[in-house]
Structure 1
Amino acid sequence: MRIISGKYKGRRISPPKGLPVRPTTDMSKEALFNVLNNHFSFDGLKVLDLFAGTGNISYEFASRGSSPITSVDGDFGCVKFIKQTAAEFDFPIAATKSDVFKFLEKCNASFDIVFADPPYGLDQATFEKVVLLVFEKNILNEEGMMIIEHSKYTKLNHLANFSFQKSYGGSIFSFFEFESEQEIEGDSLENDGEEE
């Protein structure tokens, strides 16, 4: 995988084999950050990356100047790799080994961006629980945005604070805001850039 923009644009990061991950593709990642670029200045954004896996999304935010970044994953190998990579690049990333739901229950911090990429195989209720906890625990700042990556078989557009979604290949990004300003994305439920 590679960093697509920012200070470390073009740098490749090679996670060890055997990690239980499904990294966001470069195409999907670039599309996601194009959307975010229309809403935020990345410099100084406080970011929470849930089910962080290899840290792919965290590195992208860090390369663009976001700080601090908290990466949460339940796998020891993933957290170890994120810590190693953050140290190598001097990224402001704090990697935490924790069950995501336990982390959210105890979290007393708030963030400008909350990104979550749960395993696609989890059931509908589990995906919904991630979103609900973030809003119930006031983990998202008032002007912030939550993004959850999921497959086309998971539907989240009925949840409170849903704003819009974008589809790229087999991945869908659902965006949530406190004020669901649908006019931001007029084609809120349209699929953009979908591969055949």
Structure 2
Amino acid sequence: MRIISGLYKSRKIIAPKNLPVRPTTDMAKESLFNIINNLYYFDEISVLDLFAGTGNISYEFASRGTESITSVDQNFGCIKFINQTAEAFDMPIQTIKSDVFKFLEKSKLQTNIIFADPPYDFSVEQFSRIPDLVFENNLLLEDGVLIVEHSKHTNLSDVRHFSYSKSYGGNMFSFFEITES
């Protein structure tokens, strides 16, 4: 994987082969960050990266100047790799080893962007729990957005707070925003 833009542009990061991950493709990541770039100033936001895996998305935010990044994953190897990489590049990434759903149930952390990249084989009900917990626990700041990455074969348009989705190859990003109920 490589960092697309910012301070560490073009830097390649090689993750251990034994991590149970599926990193976001460079093409999909570049498209996603073009959307985010039109919505926010990277140096003025806070980010929560759920199912962080290799830390691919967290590194991209850090490279673009985001100073408040929290990465959550339940796999110790993933957390260890993110910590080592963040330290090597002097990136402001805090890691939390936790089951994402348990973290969302208890967290009081509010951020501008929450990015979630759960396993693609989740059911719609499992995917739906993410926005349900984010919005029930008020984890987004005003004008914040939850972005859920999933397969193009999964349709989340009927999930509460769904706003829109964008498709890139086999990847899809669904955007969820605070709505008046």
TM over 0.5: yes
Aligned letter for 2:164?
F
Name the residue aligned to 1:165: 165
**Number of residue pairs matched by the alignment:** 180
Deviates more, 1:151-160 or 1:123-132: 151-160
Q: Is the 8 A contact 2:15 2:81 kept in 1?
A: yes
Separation in 1 of the partners of 2:142 and 2:157? 20
Identity in percent? 62
- 1:30 lines up with 2:36 in the alignment: no
Name the residue aligned to 1:102: 102
Name the residue aligned to 1:93: 93
Name the residue aligned to 2:140: 140
Separation in 1 of the partners of 2:179 and 2:60? 26
Deviates more, 1:26-35 or 1:36-45: 36-45
Residue correspondence of structure 1 range 55-74 to structure 2 within 5 A: 55-74=55-74
Does the residue aligned with 1:43 lie in a helix, a strand or coil?
helix
**Aligned-pair distance for 1:90?**
0.7
More strand by share: 2
Aligned letter for 2:140?
L
Separation in 2 of the partners of 1:124 and 1:144? 23
**Aligned-pair distance for 1:179?**
4.1
Aligned letter for 1:83?
N
Separation in 2 of the partners of 1:179 and 1:61? 26
Aligned letter for 1:90?
D
Q: Give unpaired runs (5+ residues) of structure 2.
A: none
Name the residue aligned to 2:46: 46
**Per-residue deviation, residues 24-60 of structure 1 (Å, max 9, x unmatched):** 0000000000111111111131000000000000000
Q: Is the 8 A contact 2:51 2:116 kept in 1?
A: yes
- 1:122 lines up with 2:128 in the alignment: no
**Aligned-pair distance for 1:152?**
2.1
RMSD over equivalenced CA pairs, Å: 1.0
Q: Is the 8 A contact 2:131 2:161 kept in 1?
A: no
Separation in 2 of the partners of 1:122 and 1:174? 14
Aligned letter for 1:91?
M
Separation in 1 of the partners of 2:122 and 2:164? 22
**Per-residue deviation, residues 117-143 of structure 1 (Å, max 9, x unmatched):** 000011111100011100110001121
Separation in 2 of the partners of 1:153 and 1:29? 19
**Per-residue deviation, residues 53-82 of structure 1 (Å, max 9, x unmatched):** 000000000001112100000101000000
Aligned letter for 1:149?
E
Separation in 2 of the partners of 1:179 and 1:130? 16
Does the residue aligned with 1:16 lie in a helix, a strand or coil?
coil
Separation in 2 of the partners of 1:5 and 1:15? 19
Separation in 2 of the partners of 1:141 and 1:115? 14
